[in-house]
Amino acid sequence: MSQSITINSEDILNQVKLSCKMPELFEQIITRKIITAAVAEAGIKVETEELQKAADQIRLINQLSSADDTWAWLGKNCLSLDDFEEIVYTNVVSSKLATHLFAGKAEPYFFENQLDYTGVVMSEVVFDDEDLAIELFYAIKEGETSFYNVANQYIQDTELRRKCGYLGVVKRKDLKPEISAVVFAATPPQILKPIVTSKGSHLILVEEIIQPELKNILRLQIISDLFAEHIKQLVKETEVCSELSP
């Protein structure tokens, strides 16, 4: 037999507290207030076209292809149309504030940290048995087998095995230091002698080293990263005065 349950704002707040989500919630509130104050101080304005474009992006991300889909999504998330417009506005002004503060710092940061953005096209097989990895390395070198045969035989993960260990483009900063030091000293295409880490023995095929270029996508990513770190630091330095009782 179904029953009707009423949930009010006090219930929601109590559940947030019991879920130990208050620190996370405080951080989000502080972040929003910091951004709002900084936007006002910078005199940043938003055009209607910018809001419309951002709203369309949110609908696309959430697969809201019709007005009915949008209203259903709003209802599911207990949001009003005004709430949705506030989300859109916050996204736009946050992006504009990030650009305002860090657009001029993206290029110097890129050149200072250029090595971190160097990429490698690589494939990898990780072994628990170091001796086996070395044995297969020499077998590949001597033409007795191929890296792809080894990957197909020894990789346990189904999807990775289907790709023969292919990892695509991997950034230097995403590799363990002991691996990146060897990988980025390679002369592609080159198979590397197994590298031992805490994860196992890595048999790696280096296909290409990709030198970074400061194109628009990377520029925007750097601006976003610098802005996120800036806001994170401001949040740490902010004293919180909560009126909520324990």
Locus of tokens 């104050």: 37
- Asked whether the CA dihedral 155, 159, 164, 168 is positive or negative, the reply is negative
Q: What is the pLDDT of residue 232?
A: 95
- Say whether both 134 and 171 belong to one domain: yes
Quick: pLDDT tens for 174-198: 999 999 999 999 999 999 999 999 9
Same domain membership, residue 90 and residue 18: yes
| Cβ 58 vs Cβ 79: under 8 Å | no
Sign, CA dihedral 224-226-227-228, equals positive
Residues 156 and 201 in one domain: yes
Confidence of residue 244 (pLDDT cuts 50, 70, 90): low
Residue 245: inside a domain: no
Tens digits of residue pLDDT in 61-92: 999 999 999 999 999 999 999 999 999 999 99
**CATH code, domain carrying 165:** 3.10.50.40
Considering the domain architecture, whether residues 103 and 223 belong to the same structural domain is answered as: yes
On whether residue 25 sits in a domain, the answer given is yes
Regarding whether 205 and 223 lie in a shared domain, the answer is no
Tally of structural domains, the chain: 2
pLDDT at position 114 over 70: yes
In a shared domain, residues 83 and 137: no
DSSP secondary structure string for all residues of 163-222: TTTEEEEEEGGGS-HHHHHHHTT--SSEEEEEEEETTEEEEEEEEEEE-----HHHHHHH
Kindly calculate the radius of gyration of the chain based on its CA atoms and give it in whole angstroms: 25
Give phi and psi for 226, each to the nearest 5. Answer: -65, -40
Residue 233 placed within a domain: yes
Is there a domain that residue 114 lies in?
Answer: no
Mean pLDDT of 130-142: 97
Domain that holds residue 123: 119-210
Question: Are 43 and 100 contained in the same domain?
Answer: yes
Taking residues 30-36, what's their average pLDDT? 95
| Residue 4 within a domain | no
CA–CA separation, 84 and 52 (whole Å): 12
Same domain flag for 25 and 58: yes
What pTM value is reported for the model?
Answer: 0.76
Q: Are residues 32 and 153 in the same domain?
A: no
Task: Report the alpha-carbon distance of residue 120 to residue 172 in Å, rounded.
Answer: 7
Sort strands 166-171 and 190-197 into parallel, antiparallel or unpaired: unpaired
Distances (CA, A) of 144 to 33, 57, 58, 147, 161: 64, 52, 53, 10, 20
Task: Judge whether residue 238 has pLDDT over 90.
Answer: no
Answer yes or no: is pLDDT of 245 > 90: no
Asked whether residue 242 is assigned to any structural domain, the reply reads: no
- The answer to whether residues 203 and 227 belong to one domain is no
pLDDT, mean over the chain: 94
In this predicted structure, the answer to whether residue 229 has a pLDDT above a threshold of 80 is yes
| Inside any domain, residue 244 | no
Q: Do 124 and 81 fall into the same domain?
A: no
Please determine, for residue 246, whether its predicted confidence score (pLDDT) is greater than 80: no
Helix (H, G, I), strand (E, B) or coil at 123: strand
Share of the chain above pLDDT 70, in %: 97
- Say if residue 13 is in the same domain as residue 100: yes
Geometric angle at alpha carbon 124, from 118 and 130, rounded to 5°: 120
Q: Answer whether 219's CB lies under 8 Å from 106's CB.
A: yes
In a domain, 52, yes or no: yes
